[in-house]
Amino acid sequence: MDWPLLLTLMLGGLAGLLLLGLPVAFAFLTVTLFGAFEILGGERGLVQLARNATQALTNFQLAPIPLFILMGEILFQTGVAHRAIDAVDRVVTRVPGRLSVVTVFGGTIFAALSGSTIANTAMLGSTLLPGMLKKGYAPTLAMGPIMASGAIAMLIPPSALAVLVGSLAGISIAGLLLAGVVPAIVLSVLFVGWIVARVSLSPQLAPPDDLPEMTRAERWRPFVVYVLPLGSIFLVVIGSLMAGLATPTESAALGCVAAVAVGAGYRALGRDRLVRAFMETVKLSVMILFIIMTSQTFAQVLSFSGATNGVIRVIEGYELGPLGVLWGMIALLLLLGCFIDQVSMLMVTVPIFVPLAQAAGIDPLILGVVYLLTMEIGLLTPPFGLLLFVMRGVAPAGIGIQTIYAAALPYVVMKLLVLCAIVFLPGIATWLPQMLR
């Protein structure tokens, strides 16, 4: 079978199965079974699929994925994250759009502890959105920062998807986790700047809602009690990586221990809450690992059929150069992000993009950060951005999906600007990992 036909059948079949509503994991398994049987030699191809699945699931590099998810779930289920948001609310004062700014600060803090965009957005939405709307905030100004800062969990460590990208694409996981720190901070600063400027120009979007008079102790004590201890978790995870004292797997395990210690210190670590945290971790981890199970065979099918080399030869024929190739990848990833989920984007593109990036001489860390940021943007782009639907679930019934789209739009633009900055100034992403080598 010619590679263009095989590529069309596999990608078209995958798209068709997803449109029919088949879960992503089973859709990938179906097309991979077809490809393995057709290209890898019938029954021998199916045996190879089983061998690859065993090798993939016993890969120790994937251990940080469930551990990072568990760390965030422990903090979410014990209510520690909610207390931290309330503490941040007390210390942010006399700023236009105060509660929206609180959302960005709180969302960035929890993103550095969670690694789950869905949990981050759901927590911020359920905690802050009702109060913001009740105080008269415009729906777009209330919902936009929640979705934008919730999505930062994709980029800032500990990110489970950063581990997945690094594992599938052969990129240093520790380097990729560190490479997301500076872009995430830049995004948070841009979000705050946009909110302050927007409300300063249009005060009716966010009525003044400053807190009642408090003593300095009343204002700062909750921050010291509920936020600073959470910083110890981030220091344990990232500090152990930066100092070279732990591998990504070991740092994730240390983070879980620290999360348990913090939950116990607040006397919020009940048996039922721990069980819920473990169950949610199992649900998310099984879905991701099931997809990984078929990834190696999917890549082998494309390679043995000649599809990977064929695509590379076609693109090389245009003589685009590294920058042109990278822009082409970004354009395709942004397009895919409008229609399919982030793991599917990885599975479809990694077997082609990684060899293409190597042939073009693109820095693997830049490729990894581009993946994370484009997937983050995909969470907020219509019609199927996942966080748009999470927001729809927590928003009042009177708010339509068009309003949610409008709320996300300015933040999508800011994320695109940071993406462009990383392409032209790669040091934004590579500076921190290079400093710590």
> What pLDDT, on the 0 to 100 scale, is given for residue 316?
67
> What pLDDT, on the 0 to 100 scale, is given for residue 372?
93
Q: State the DSSP string of 81-124.
A: HHHHHHHHHHH--S-TTHHHHHHHHHHHHHHHHH--HHHHHHHH
> What pLDDT, on the 0 to 100 scale, is given for residue 115?
67
Residue with tokens 């699929």: 49
pLDDT digits (tens, 9 = 90+) for 287-325: 777 767 776 777 777 777 777 677 767 776 777 788 888
Query: Among candidates 185, 246, 72, which has minimal Cα distance to 429?
Result: 185
Sequence letter at residue 92: V
Specify the pTM: 0.80
Angstrom distance (rounded) from CA 376 to CA 422? 15
Contact 141, 195 (CB under 8 A): yes
Angstrom distance (rounded) from CA 328 to CA 304? 24
> What pLDDT, on the 0 to 100 scale, is given for residue 223?
86
- Sign, CA torsion 409/92/237/129: negative
Query: Among candidates 79, 127, 119, 69, which has minimal Cα distance to 103?
Result: 127
Give the orientation angle of helix 342-360 with respect to helix 24-39, to 10 degrees: 50
Domain of residue 388: give its range: 3-435
Give per-residue burial for 32-63: e unless 16+ CB within 10 Å, then b. Answer: bebbbbbbbeeeebeebbeebbeebeeeeebb
The SS3 of residue 362 is coil
Contacts of 408 (CB under 8 A, 6+ apart): 143, 144, 147, 148, 380, 381, 385, 387, 388
Look at the chain and report how many structural domains it folds into: 1
- Sign, CA torsion 119/294/237/190: negative
The CA-based dihedral angle spanning residues 326, 332, 334, 336, taken in that order and rounded to the nearest 10 degrees:
-150
Angstrom distance (rounded) from CA 269 to CA 256? 13
Angstrom distance (rounded) from CA 169 to CA 371? 10
Beta strands in 145-278 (DSSP E): none
Q: Give the chain's radius of gyration (CA, Å).
A: 22
Which residues in the chain show pLDDT less than 50? Answer: none
Contacts of 315 (CB under 8 A, 6+ apart): 325, 328, 356
> What pLDDT, on the 0 to 100 scale, is given for residue 188?
94
Angstrom distance (rounded) from CA 147 to CA 118? 9
Contact 30, 15 (CB under 8 A): no
